[in-house]
Structure formats: C-alpha cells, structure tokens
Chain A
Amino acid sequence: MTMKILIVEDEPKTGDYLKQGLCEAGFSADLVRNGLDGMHEGLSGGYDLMILDVNLPSLDGWQVLKALRAAGRDFPVLFLTARDQVEDRVKGLELGADDYLVKPFAFSELLARVRTLLRRGRAKEVEKLCLADLELDVLKRRATRANQRIDLTAKEFALLELFLRRQSEVLSRSFIASQVWDMNFDSDTNVVEVAIRRLRAKVDDDFNPKLIHTLRGMGYVLEIR
C-alpha cells in the first residue's frame, strides 16, 4: 500500500522538489503551501505522515502541529526548521513532533527519516537479516557471506546491520554517523567514507555480487544491482 505524505512548505522550489522526490521514492505526496491549508488537509486527508515547515504564512508550523494533536491526529510529523536552535527543536518535540531536520538538509537524509518514522511501531525486530548470500545474526552477533564467517568490529557490525535494515535506501554520511557512532554534528571529515571502505573490504571485496554501492554526493546504499 502506498503511504500518503502531506508536505506543508511555502518555499516554492523546496516544496516542488520535496514532492517530486517523495513521489519518485514511491510515496504518494501532496503539497500545500500555507499553514491554514496544511491544518485543513492534515485534519481531513487521512495521511500517514506530515512534513511540516515551521515558518509558514497564515498559521505557523507550531500552531498547525498543536491543532492536529489537539484533534487527536497522531500520525508522525517531521518538522523542518531553518534555525538551528536548541529551543526550536525542544519546542517542536514537546508539541508532539516526532523528528526534525534543520535546513538545508540532504534529501537522502529526509527520506531516511521519513522511512524510519513510517516504520516505527510496525517493524518487528528481525533477528536474522540477509541480502543475497550475506547474512547477519543480530542476536549472535555473527556475520557470514557465502557461509564464510566475517570478522567485524562492533561498529562495523552496527554499520552493516543498519545497511541491512535499510536495504535499497540511500543513507547519507551524516545519517550513518548519527546512527552508528551517535555523532550528531555535521563533521567534514571522511570518517564514514573510511569506515565504509573497510566494511567493503570485508564484505564485498572477495565476493560477488557487490552489495554496498556509493552514490556520489549522496551517500551509500545496500542492494543487489
């Protein structure tokens, strides 16, 4: 079933590309450009998720969020803020938002978070993850490829687990850094690149088909090509 996403964003280009990007990623996305329409659509449209800009004409994001939660709409809300202020984030989360992104953000990052929010509460924790001949036993902390045991460090294991849980999703470097190492600031070092290179050396180099792919400028994806 296609997931329905409502985008409330007043910047024309950002809104249009968000909609295009989400549609191409397989969602059904609607776009409204002000807070009043956003609230109205949110209350009546039967959406699975809302992407809500904070700075909106006619009714700001906080008011929309408040109105939705007051009316008992409990679908996940991801808010977008231009200001990287702690108070802003705290306020949004207190009002009942589920996650936030600070503009400018990478689209792949947004996609990853949207998928996380949609999956929340639904995905059962799978104990065994696999793709092609790659297998990961989460409980036993064992990784094998073509039945050969692969020795992974704890972080490498976490990285591979993230990839396997997010198969076919583009994962940006900052998303990976935040998920695997809990590094939540955007660092301009190539740590993730190096880590992926090492993981590849263990998981992909001696095997076929290659599973970890680099999308230049965007991030990495685990899939069979």
Chain B
Amino acid sequence: MNMSHWRNSITLRLSVAFALLATLIFTALGLYLSKAADDHMAELDAHELHSKLAQVSQTGIHEPSISAFATRLNDQFASEHGLIVLVEGRHGIVFNWPHGNPIPSGLTTNHLTHAAPERIDLGEQQFRMVTGTAQSGWGENLRITVASDIAHHTDFLSHLQRDFWLAVLAAACLTVLVGMWISRQGMRRVSDIAHAAGRISAGQLSERISEQEIPTELAELVSAFNAMLGRLEESFQRLSDFSADLAHELRTPIHSLRMQTEVSLSQTRDINEYRDLLSSNLEEYDRLSRIIADMLFLAKADHGLVIPGKGTVQLRPLCQRLCDYYGILANAQSISISGEDIAVLGDNLMLERAIGNLLANAIHHTPEDGNVSIHLESQNGVALITVSNTGPMIPVSVQERIFERFVRLDEHGYEGNGLGLAITKSIVLAHKGSISVQSTEAGTEFCVQLSLTYTSPNTAVSGSASVSIG
C-alpha cells in the first residue's frame, strides 16, 4: 500500500523529475567542461612541445659539434621535469633527455608525419609528442622527438571530474529535497481543498470552497467541485422534500387507520360495525401498499433499474384498449383517437401504464361537455403521442412541477396518489423518450416522444410477460 502510495505521490514524482533533469543538465555541462579543459591542456602542451622542438633545432643549427650540442641541451633542460627529448642523427642517438632513463620504446617507434602533437598512451604513462627534423651545425640531418609526460594533466582532470560528479550527486539530492518542499507547498492548496471538502456533510451542503486565492491550476477543480456540490445539494433537497412528502402521505392514512381502530375498539360493537371497520381498514391498506409500490417503482427508475422489455408495441390498439377502459370514467366527455398506427420498441405493460395515467388524468380534468383526444403521429423517426383535453389551464407554477411526485392539481376529490405523472415520466425516460406539457386556456396537451421501431411485427417479441388467466 505504501509503495503504491509513493508511486502515486505527485510530490515524489515532481522531485524525481527535478532531480533527473538537474542531473542531466549537470552531466551535460560537466562533459562539456571536461572536454574544454582537455582541449585547453592539449593546446598548452602543443605550445610547449613546439617551443621545445624549435629550441632543440635552433641549438642544433648553432652548435658546431655533437658534444657542444649535447652540453648545451643539458644546460637548457636541467630544470625540466617530465620532458623527454630524443635527437637522432645518421649514426643513431645523438642526444637523449633525461639521462640514464631509457626512452619508452613506444615513443621511438612512432614516426609522426604531421606537426600536431600526438597523444600516446603507454599503459600507465601518457605522453604527448611531436617530431621534427633540423640541420645541424656539423652537417648532419637530425630527427628530433620531443615528448612530455602529461600525467599531471590527466590527474588534474580526473580529480576535477570526480569532484564534479560528487557535486552533481549532491545537487541531485538537493534538488529532490528542494523539489519535494516546493511541490509540497504547491500541494498544500490541494490538501486545503480536501480539508474543506472533508468538512462538508449532508447537513452543510450549502458550503462552498472559496474560489478566491486559489491557484489558477486548481481553479477548475474547485469550480467543478463546487458545481458538484450544487447538484448534490439540489438532489439532496429534492430527496429530503420527497421523504417529507412520503412521510406525510403515509402518515395520514396510518393515522386515520389508527384513530378508526382505536375508537372502534373503545367499546363493544355490533358485528357489522366490526366488519365495516375491517373493510375500511382494508381499503386504506390497499391505498398504502399502492403508494409504496409506486414509490418503489419510482425509486428503481431513479436508479436506472427500471429496464423496459424490448418488444414491438402497436400504439393504436394499445390506446384503443386504454380508451375502452378509462372511457368508463367519462360521463359526457367525448374521447377520440386519431392518427396512424405506429409501433415503438418498448415494454407493453409499462407504456400502457404511462399512457393510461395521462388518459385518466385528462378525463378527470375535462368538464362534462369537453373532449379528450389521443393523437398518434410519426415524425422523423420519432413517435409522437399527444394526449390532449379541453380542460382548464394548468397554472404555470404547477406546470413546471407537474411531473414531480405528490404534485396534485386539486387536493380533493380525485383519488390519485399524486404519483401518476411521475411514473409516466419515469417510464418514458426509461424508454429513452421525452415528455412535455403545454397548457393554455384552450386546453392541455401532454406530448410523449418515443423512438420508432422498424422491426417487422412478425419478428417482434411480446414486451410484457403478463399472464392471462381465464
């Protein structure tokens, strides 16, 4: 857990990235500097070697004999260390420096043709050497080799390099620490936000994280977070309103059940009175269990658990059956169906319920001489089901909330439990359709849009699993 914690730590990642970057830059710089130092050393050596070479050839020209030449050179090189001079004449070595020390064989066998000094590695010793020729005062052609032991240079360079790498390591470590500190500072704003978020509970959904003094990079996060809080607050509010409504809806019938039962039991009564009581209780139970079933349906729909069957539903016969059924409620209102027969993909039982609710509402809210009509129409791949009536206008304030739970047009008279339209809407939404309401003085129109099906009726499967008995 710790591992993954660290692997996911932004602070650590940033620090490591900083350190890697610093190391990379320092390394490149080091390599460049070391190359430059090396070049500079070589240049110094070349200068030195060429001047020695010139010195030897000048001495050769001016001295009349080999011995004078050697004496002169001995004087000249007396104070030189690390310098090797070899002068060869026609009959072999004319002069070599330092005396007594054999010339490393590697140097004598190298016969350079160009003037630039060459670096020669002889195992532990490194030399840089130049060769040249000169006329001597005694009439002999001389071949001159001047080499310089460059051990002190390479030592210096390797020391420099070692120190440098140590410095790079130290810098990398320092960058990690400093980087950690810097990113911690940056991240502190994030944890401030986290603390602020931690303080928010169901009771304080109205709290927001201040968007002032927030670094630009986090502003988006904070505003998204605040927007989420806003949505949560809204749905939470709806939920608690809903719970309150539900409690009210359930409490009222339970209260009346209790009163009735208590009063009836307070004294001995005639058997018929008991029967009446039980019957009336039964009606209340029925109402209660219907409310609960409807609420459960809505709760499931809210969580996307209402999954409609996918059969072909012929809307015209469905509406016809609904009209036959609900038409019984109509007194003098006329009910009509118009439009084409269209088929949609969906759940027969659910759609029946959805349209049935609309129809029952429409009939209920239509005056005796009014009309209720269902119109079916297909438009651009969409099935339009319009249920309209010539009832009184629904107040605009109610129109906005008409699909919400427990919103009723009139508080008395109608038997509905105030969930019908909410259920209709959730069924329509479960079918990926939409529903809208339009109400004017002339009447009210509910319009349901569902997507059309193109499957042929022969291959269609029945959308409902209802069992018919008879």
Contacts and interface: CB of A to CB of B under 8 A. Distances in A.
B293 A84 contact: yes
Contact of A188 (B417, B467, B470): B417
Interface stretch (A5-13, A59-67, A190-198): A190-198
Given A188-B290, A188-B417, A217 B281 contact: yes
B326 A189 contact: yes
Given A181-B325, A191-B325, A216-B279, A93 B356 contact: no
The contact size tier of chain A is 20 to 34
A191 B470 contact: no
A190 B415 contact: yes
B329 A190 contact: yes
A86 B289 CA distance: 20
A183 B161 CA distance: 93
Contact of A187 (B321, B360, B464): B360
A206 interface: no
Contacts of B109: none
A146 interface: no
Contacts of B283: 216-217
Contacts of A186: 290, 293
Contacts, number: 89
Given A116-B469, A181-B325, A198-B328, A189 B360 contact: yes
A188 B415 contact: yes
A100 B469 contact: no
The contact size tier of chain B is 35 or more
Contacts of A104: 289
B276 interface: yes
Contact of A185 (B276, B286, B296, B356): B356
A5 B46 CA distance: 119
A152 interface: no
A145 to B, nearest CB: 21
Contacts of B470: 116, 179
Contact of B349 (A99, A184, A198): A184
Interface string B276-303: 1011111101110110010011000000
Interface of A: 84, 86, 89-90, 93, 99-100, 104, 106, 113, 116, 155, 177-179, 181-191, 194-195, 198, 215-218
Interface of B: 276, 278-283, 285-287, 289-290, 293, 296-297, 307, 309, 321, 324-326, 328-329, 347, 349, 352-353, 356-357, 360, 415-417, 420, 464-470
8 contacts: A89-B465, A179-B470, A181-B324, A185-B349, A187-B357, A198-B328, A217-B282, A217-B283
